[in-house]
Structure 1
Amino acid sequence: MKKGTLSLIIILGLIAVLGFTLVGSYNNLVKLDEETNAKWAQVENQLKRRADLIPNLVNTVKGFAKQEQDVLVGVTKARSGIVEAKNPQEYARANEQLNTALSKLNVVVEKYPELKSNENFIRLQDELAGTENRLAVSRMDYNESAKIFNGKVRRFPTNIFAGMFGFEKKQYFEINQEDKKLPEVKF
């Protein structure tokens, strides 16, 4: 074989390897991006489910605690923050406000023992507890998926391809420092 032909074959081979690497990296980024988006959609589903349960819970409490209107309005307002949120940071902020409002609602519930024994209230509390568990799992799944995606986007040489094709790091769904503190239980 001639020198020129051999050089051409080597160059074409290198271009082919680079092309396959580029296509493979791109397809992997697309797959990870879609997985992360699907996990985020599940977080949104659980937040929506939670937000949908809250009006029923509020209406049940309203029947027993008419004078506690401020707390009930606060819960309703905080719920609307979840419905209007657009990204993980907004959802985290709205979730924090809703957690605060729900903790105030729990204080109201403590004042009304007959409410705590009401069948509708108990059922709604159970639904809300189940939703909170599903939400925690969904957030964990999303954050794990975002971690994998973000690691891929940041690693060389994929970071070059990610930048070329517009793949950006995903935001984590994080809680604030106040929510990280353990609640104090007193008897």
Structure 2
Amino acid sequence: MEYNLIIVGVVALFIGLTILAKYNLIVREYNSVTRGWADVLTQERQRSRIIPELDRVLQDHKDYESELLPKITALRQGINALEDNNIDTKLQSEVDKASQDLMKGINVAVEAYPELKASESFSKFMYEITEQEENVGAAVRIFNQNVAHFNSCIQSFPNNIVNAMINKKKVIEVFTDSKAAAEFEYKPNF
């Protein structure tokens, strides 16, 4: 009888430790996702700090398109609407689209006013905005990688059982760029 209790105790201990390990794994993966999203927001906020500088540079030249200022304002508002505790990939997509529209407007202004292109401050700004665009892209890639790891973690066995019983975390949507996806003829069949 004691032998059976020892076996049951060892099995119960093993199951308990397994559940604890799976619980901690899910928490760790979820924290990676939230950290990744915070990094995306950090890069977006860094990009938003450049916007006033853009405004100053373009105001100095007074020769930019009248549509550019509302685009700058809309981009700043979109970036400020992103929240740390709310993963909103759709809003992030809108902010990226607004940024792309802004860049198109700047290119039009540069083509129309060559003296703007020659400005040292404008050149520095363009370098910085390009670097910030790359940083946002890298942060989004890391976020999507963390989301993929997390989603796999909560969907695989036995993690899915532990998640359903204890963690109750839901699958998180990855960030997608519908405009970029539309440009590809290839569509994966999944």
TM-score by length of 1: 0.86
Distance 1:83 1:180 in 2: 27
Distance 1:23 1:128 in 2: 45
Distance 2:116 2:181 in 1: 27
Q: Is 1:21 aligned to residue 18 of structure 2?
A: yes
Equivalent residue pairs, number: 179
1:31 alignment counterpart: 28
Structure 2 unmatched ranges of 5 or more: 185-190
1:156 alignment counterpart: 157
Q: Is 1:40 aligned to residue 31 of structure 2?
A: no
Shift of 1:18: 0.8
Shift of 1:168: 2.2
Between structure 1 and structure 2, the one with the greater Rg is 1
1:169 alignment counterpart: 171
Distance 2:30 2:136 in 1: 21
**% identical equivalent positions:** 24
Which protein, 1 or 2, shows the higher relative CO under an 8 Å CA cutoff with sep ≥ 6? 2
TM-score by length of 2: 0.85
Cα displacement string for residues 79-101 of structure 1 (whole angstroms, at most 9, x for unaligned residues): 21121123222112222222223
Range with greater deviation from structure 2 (15-24 or 98-107):
98-107
1:185 alignment counterpart: none
Cα displacement string for residues 48-88 of structure 1 (whole angstroms, at most 9, x for unaligned residues): 11111022112212332446222222222122112112322
Residue correspondence of structure 1 range 66-77 to structure 2 within 5 A: 66=63, 68-77=65-74
Range with greater deviation from structure 2 (91-100 or 48-57):
91-100
Q: Is the 8 A contact 1:82 1:94 kept in 2?
A: yes
Distance 2:181 2:100 in 1: 9
Distance 2:76 2:177 in 1: 17
Amino acid paired to 2:158: P
Residue correspondence of structure 1 range 19-168 to structure 2 within 5 A: 19-66=16-63, 68-86=65-83, 87-163=88-164, 164-168=166-170
Q: 1:113 to 1:66 in 2, by over 3 A?
A: closer
Structure 1 unmatched ranges of 5 or more: 183-187
Q: Is the 8 A contact 1:72 1:105 kept in 2?
A: no
Amino acid paired to 1:148: H
Instruction: Give the RMSD, CA atoms, in angstroms.
Output: 1.9
